[in-house]
Amino acid sequence: MKWWRTTVSTLAIAVSVSNIPSTINVDQEFSADINLDCTTCGTSYLRGVFFYPETSYDYLGFTLNNGNEWINLSSSNCGSYYKIESGGFEGKLNFKFDAEKPTGPYYFRILRYTPS
């Protein structure tokens, strides 16, 4: 009997966020623990966003980027978000709500972008 050994290669990317405050004030900055599990990734850009529970596409909020600038841009300008040169990332990132938006219950998530 012969056994053939094969290796299946898949690209798995996981982004997780933890240690988020359960409530924040409109003018409050906060940090969260971020883990980007992707050892084979090239350049990535990370952005934290708030969104209404009823939608998953109308994002708001600011992310502090590598240049110590608060960024609140559309996904078409992802080059200004927090940049990860290559591979994974584990650390704290800083975020804040957009004070010009209405208060209420929001969800929070981390989005990962790649250069086009």
pTM of the model: 0.82
3-12, 22-31, 60-69, 92-101: least confident range: 3-12
**Residue 67 within any structural domain of the chain:** yes
Whole-number pLDDT of residue 4: 41
**Residue 104 within any structural domain of the chain:** yes
Of 73 and 106, more confident? 106
Q: How does the average pLDDT of the chain come out, rounded?
A: 84
**Residue 5 within any structural domain of the chain:** no
List Cα–Cα distances, 113 to 2, 19, 27, 55, in angstroms: 44, 22, 26, 20
Whole-number pLDDT of residue 10: 45
Q: Percent of the chain beyond pLDDT 90?
A: 40
**Single-letter amino acid, residue 99:** A
Structural domain span for residue 58: 14-110
How does strand 82-84 pair with strand 89-96? Answer: unpaired
How many structural domains compose the chain? 1
Closest to 37 (Cα-Cα) out of 99, 87, 74: 87
Whole-number pLDDT of residue 97: 93
